[in-house]
Amino acid sequence: MSEVAGSPPAAARVPDPAEVVVRIRGLGKAFRGHLGIGRTVAVDGLDLEVRRGEIFGLLGPNGAGKTTTLKMLLGLVRPDRGEVLLFGLPPSDPRARARLGYLPENPYFYDHLTAAEFLDFYARLRGIPADERRVRVPRALERVGLGDRAGTPLRKLSKGMTQRLGLAQAIGHDPELVILDEPMSGLDPVGRREVRDRILELREAGRTVFFSSHILQDAEMICDRVAILDRGRLRWEGALRDLVSRNVRWFEVEVVGALPPDVPCERVSREGERHLVQVADVGRLARLIDAVQRAGGQVVSVWPRRETLEDLFLRELGRPPGRAEGPR
């Protein structure tokens, strides 16, 4: 008999935004080298929590330990130390894995199957009855724009199509938690946009998304919180909105006309009557606007420059490894 995984019935379950969906405590993993010689630390004392309904980005350069972390989360790799809990259960428990969907990095699937057979296989693995599969599989293909590719063998699909099919496999059973390993890697801008849209749709539907990426612009666009990992250690963790709202570092102002000499600003560039200047804070910005108006000039645009995720990323990676900083 099928059973419903370790939770109250759906009707009674009210999604709680404070509920911790993924809990990682003191996680560590090292791999032995070839013939058992040498030892590479992949993850070192990682602590993380992902809450229900958020998009959480695990960021870091190649080799930072992102994929190993995700694999420990899925029970594919056993931690040397520490603990991973999904919905309060260890990943080895099928009840935990029944509630998630996963897309690996650069997915490669069974090329002897067609797109529809592929999704049907994963639906069978989850014990979805045949009549339900007949409805779900075409719907999942439609959802990722592959409705007309049901009978196409996987070996004939492009990389972007394969990625979309992989995403359909990961979300086709409507999981509560979706784990994506570098979902935008290797895709063209259209493909990246499609994947981003799907992830945002998942959040709209109240699902939790935990994904790894080294493409910072994508992460910045969609993540609620991020963690930066480097050489297996957590370097920064926090909400992106804190980062964006708190860290306005300077203003870029475009001025047409004469530039008053008495305002403390730094000119970046000049093209005829147009000046692009930087001012450090709001007070100086007000003084600049006032002075420009008095001199008969015109302020064309004011652009608050915040610290971007990339700035933070590069700054954190430039520091020697130590304790994780940032809002927790």
Partner 1 sequence: MSAPAPARVPPPWAAIVAIGLNTFREAIRDRILYLLLVFALVVIGASRLLSLLTVGSEDKIIKDLGLSAISIFGVMTAGFMGVSLVFKEIERRTVYTLLANPVRRWQFVTGKFAGLLSVLVLNVTLMYAALAVLLWIRGEQPLALAPAVLLTGVELAVVTAFALLFSSLTNPILAAVWTFAVYVTGHLVWSVRLLGERLPPGFARGTCEALYWLLPNLDRMNVRAEVVHGIALPDGFLAVSALYGASYTVVVLALASLALERKDFA
Stretch 31-50: interaction string toward partner 1, x if CB under 8 A: x-------------------
Long-range contacts, 199-206 (Cβ 8 Å, 24+) = 199/55, 200/55, 202/55, 202/171, 202/178, 203/53, 203/54, 203/55, 206/15, 206/52, 206/53
Spatial strand order in the sheet of 248-256? 266-271, 274-279, 248-256, 298-306
Helix, coil or strand: residue 328: coil
Q: How far is the CB of 224 from partner 1 (least distance, A)?
A: 14
As given in the structure block, the two tokens for residue 232 are 């297996």
Where helices occur in 84-129 by DSSP H, the ranges are: 94-97, 115-125
Q: Does 134 bind partner 1 (CB under 8 A)?
A: no
Note whether 91 and 74 are within 8 A (CB).
yes
Q: Which of 175, 191, 232, 326 binds partner 1 (CB under 8 A)?
A: 175
The stretch among 1-9, 56-64, 241-249, 306-314 that binds partner 1 (CB under 8 A) is 1-9
Q: Does 76 bind partner 1 (CB under 8 A)?
A: yes
Q: Does 10 bind partner 1 (CB under 8 A)?
A: yes
Considering only CA atoms, which of 137, 94, 144 is closest in space to residue 118? 137
Bridge partners for 25 per DSSP: 83
Q: How far is the CB of 162 from partner 1 (least distance, A)?
A: 12
Compare residues 157 and 179 and give the one whose CB is closer to partner 1. Answer: 179
- What is the H or E stretch that residue 303 is in? strand 298-306
Q: How far is the CB of 52 from partner 1 (least distance, A)?
A: 10
| Residues numbered 192-221 forming contacts with partner 1, rule: CB under 8 A | 204-207
Q: Does 304 bind partner 1 (CB under 8 A)?
A: no
Compare residues 169 and 212 and give the one whose CB is closer to partner 1. Answer: 169
The stretch among 173-181, 209-217, 263-271, 318-326 that binds partner 1 (CB under 8 A) is 173-181
Q: How far is the CB of 36 from partner 1 (least distance, A)?
A: 14
Q: Does 268 bind partner 1 (CB under 8 A)?
A: no
Beta strands in 191-240 (DSSP E): 208-213, 225-230, 233-239
Considering only CA atoms, which of 198, 196, 221, 206 is closest in space to residue 54? 206
Total binding residues toward partner 1, as defined by CB under 8 A: 55
Helix, coil or strand: residue 242: helix
Q: Which of 173, 192, 233, 235 binds partner 1 (CB under 8 A)?
A: 173
116: phi then psi, degrees, rounded to nearest 5: -70, -40
Q: Which of 56, 109, 251, 313 binds partner 1 (CB under 8 A)?
A: 109
Q: Which residues bind partner 1 (CB under 8 A)?
A: 1-5, 7, 9-11, 13-15, 31, 53, 68, 71, 74-78, 94-95, 97-100, 102-104, 107-110, 112-113, 117, 121-122, 124-128, 166, 169, 173-176, 179, 204-207
